[in-house]
Amino acid sequence: MRLQGKVALITGAGSGIGRESALLFAQEGAAVVVVDVNVAGGEETVAQVVAQGGRAIFVRADVSQDADCRAMVAAAETEFGGLHVLFNNAGIMHAADDDAVNTEESIWELTMNINLKGVFLGCKYGIPALRRSGGGSIINVASFVALLGAATPQLAYTASKGGVLSMTRELAIIHARENIRANAICPGPLRTELLMKVLNTEEKRKRRLVHIPMGRFGEAVEIARAALFLASDESSFVTGSTFTVDGGITAAYVTPE
């Protein structure tokens, strides 16, 4: 199994990409720390992991809070004896996120606190744990809009994901000699609850699909499979990378230099 003997901590694991990753990682032998602010969702993910014969615990944590991030990492070490994979997946896309003129400061701050600060805090406490375990893999979820910008205004989200991408590159450089790898996944539009709440009409969904060469939304499990590669030793020479999993959307719009 590709993650046999490893301990993986996944934030935002109560649904979507996080849940699919927890299930997949457990199938591949990892002990999983399921982290979410949604208790019901997180406990359901743990129940699904256990039902398929895996090992998992749930830790309620708000990734924007220092104490919560410290506690989730401590739980991984206490319960499973270490940490080998830190998957900073938790994020929000607020319905009131708009352009610079119309986005309220509170929405900007909320988005940055979860999407960007949450990754920082995960790394702040996760990296020392990775060191204690002899190294490991950091996987951060950015977005295709970090590469393109969004046609539909969502300024705070786009800026936060651009920050995640830049932070990941620096993490990779700083920790490369410590056997700690850091990579960012840039998903394209997915059929997840997060995006479908924004694209809440058939007209909005069709307008987005026009821009995806594959002509469909991605599925959360497809991102989980990409994360599995980055979590495993199969990606042992991969760090500082931008792993774009987007149905071709950036290939269609990015002009080569």
Give yes or no for a contact between 123 and 86, defined as CB atoms under 8 angstroms apart: yes
pLDDT at 257 over 50: no
Question: Per-residue pLDDT averaged across 48-71, rounded?
Answer: 98
Q: Tell me the pLDDT tens digit for each residue of 196-220.
A: 777 777 777 777 777 888 888 899 9
Q: Tell me the pLDDT tens digit for each residue of 87-100.
A: 999 999 998 999 99
Question: Per-residue pLDDT averaged across 103-122, rounded?
Answer: 98
Give the model's pLDDT for residue 193. 74
157 is catalytic: yes
Question: Per-residue pLDDT averaged across 9-34, rounded?
Answer: 98
Give the model's pLDDT for residue 197. 74
Question: Per-residue pLDDT averaged across 158-172, rounded?
Answer: 98
| C-alpha distances out from residue 194 to 80, 93, 102, 120, 198, Å | 31, 7, 21, 22, 7
Q: Which of 157, 159, 168, 212 is catalytic?
A: 157
Sequence spans of domains, the chain: 7-253
Give the model's pLDDT for residue 158. 96
* Beta-bridge partner residues of 35: 11, 59
Please give the distance of CA 104 from its chain centroid, rounded to a whole number.
Answer: 25
pLDDT at 39 over 90: yes
The model's confidence at residue 175, banded by pLDDT at 50, 70 and 90, is: very high
Give the model's pLDDT for residue 186. 97
The model's confidence at residue 253, banded by pLDDT at 50, 70 and 90, is: confident
Ordered DSSP codes for 203-257: HHHHHHHTT-TTSS-B-HHHHHHHHHHHHSGGGTT--S-EEEESTTHHHHHPPP-
Give the model's pLDDT for residue 204. 72
Domain 7-253 matching CATH 3.40.1380.20: the answer reads no
